[in-house]
């Protein structure tokens, strides 16, 4: 597809349905969303794609920037404008309730409004792979992490092959499955199945997809993951990050039979251990809500060996 940024085709104008639906969720990301949308529009493809942008009632200039792009590319960019924030509602899931049902493509690509793509052939490479490999249902790629103005590379280029096959026996080892590079077959994930999960997030989506085929990490850098203090996840405490990941993986392990592997169990137990260690720092803080930290400690001790319990309780006393 091409626009003034590069190569353009008239696929959509001719009435062709998009092969790929790019889904972008954004909230108060006025400093980043322009670069995100530009990264979609520079994609050079042999097929049509659509861009679904979900603005979750931003209170800064994000909405106006999105509208600016919609006005320029009304046939490509399909906006969802919320009048009140949906992320804060426990019964609502942005993907399953709003964006996934709207997607027309055979494939769905994900990227949040503070990350961006840098490889103009990202979509083409991932689609070509899935079109040629029916036994694969989901793909990811390498990426940079941007801290301030510095682009920090991963070591995946040297440690992983050009295509690294991922299933439940090696999922998250290493953790190279980031949302901003994900592209998957729409048929592999039922939005209603995703909505059933209380602690659902990107790992849940990956797990549901892997029930229908293999995953592929493709070893080329296609995107930039922006690490910044304003990120929703970045603002959370180390305890929250680890414990929410544990609850998410525990739910996956319990609800998806295919996920009950030694690999997933090992990672789940490690997350619980780290959660309990971080919880120790919070339980004696008078200003801290201790409900969740105490739950993490209780869950960890319930399955710990005798010596581990003694060491942990000693640390608790000393904390």
**In the chain, what are the domain boundaries?**
20-227, 238-318
pLDDT value of residue 286: 72
Q: Which residue has the tokens 């000393």?
A: 318
Contact 181, 140 (CB under 8 A): yes
Alpha-helical runs (H) found in 147-305: 156-159, 191-195, 202-210, 238-255, 262-280, 291-303
pLDDT value of residue 43: 97
In our burial notation (b when 16+ CB lie closer than 10 A, e otherwise), range 51-68 reads: bbbbbbbbeeebbebbee
pTM flag (> 0.85): yes
Domain 20-227: assigned CATH number: 3.90.550.10
Give the residues of the chain that fall short of pLDDT 50: 1, 3-10, 13
pLDDT value of residue 24: 98
pLDDT value of residue 8: 42
pLDDT value of residue 283: 78
Question: Which residue in 214, 206, 215 sits closest to 245, CA to CA?
Answer: 206
Residue-wise DSSP of 269-294: HHHHHHHHHHHHTTTT-TTS--HHHH
Contact 168, 210 (CB under 8 A): yes
């Amino acid at each position: 597809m091409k626009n003034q940024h590069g190569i353009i085709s008239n696929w959509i104008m001719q009435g062709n349905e998009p092969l790929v639906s790019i889904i972008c969720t954004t909230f108060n990301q006025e400093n980043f969303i322009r670069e995100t949308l530009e990264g979609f529009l520079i994609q050079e493809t042999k097929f049509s794609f659509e861009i679904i942008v979900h603005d979750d009632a931003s209170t800064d200039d994000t909405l106006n920037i999105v509208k600016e792009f919609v006005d320029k590319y009304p046939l490509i960019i399909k906006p969802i404008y919320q009048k009140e924030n949906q992320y804060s509602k426990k019964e609502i899931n942005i993907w399953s309730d709003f964006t996934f049902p709207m997607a027309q493509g055979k494939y769905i690509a994900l990227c949040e409004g503070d990350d961006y793509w840098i490889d103009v052939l990202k979509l083409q490479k991932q689609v070509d792979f899935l079109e040629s490999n029916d036994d694969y249902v989901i793909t990811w790629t390498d990426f940079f992490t941007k801290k301030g103005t510095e682009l920090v590379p991963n070591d995946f280029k040297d440690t992983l092959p050009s295509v690294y096959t991922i299933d439940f026996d090696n999922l998250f080892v290493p953790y190279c499955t980031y949302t901003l590079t994900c592209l998957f077959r729409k048929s592999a994930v039922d939005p209603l199945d995703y909505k059933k999960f209380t602690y659902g997030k990107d790992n849940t989506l990956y797990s549901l997809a892997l029930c229908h085929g293999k995953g592929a990490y493709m070893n080329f850098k296609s995107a930039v993951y922006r690490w910044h203090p304003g990120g929703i996840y970045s603002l959370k405490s180390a305890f929250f990050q680890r414990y929410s990941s544990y609850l998410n993986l525990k739910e996956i392990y319990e609800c998806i039979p295919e996920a009950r592997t030694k690999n997933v169990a090992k990672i789940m137990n490690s997350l619980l251990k780290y959660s309990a260690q971080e919880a120790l720092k919070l339980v004696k803080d008078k200003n801290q809500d201790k409900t969740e930290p105490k739950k993490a400690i209780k869950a960890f001790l319930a399955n710990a060996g005798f010596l581990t319990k003694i060491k942990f309780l000693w640390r608790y006393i000393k904390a």
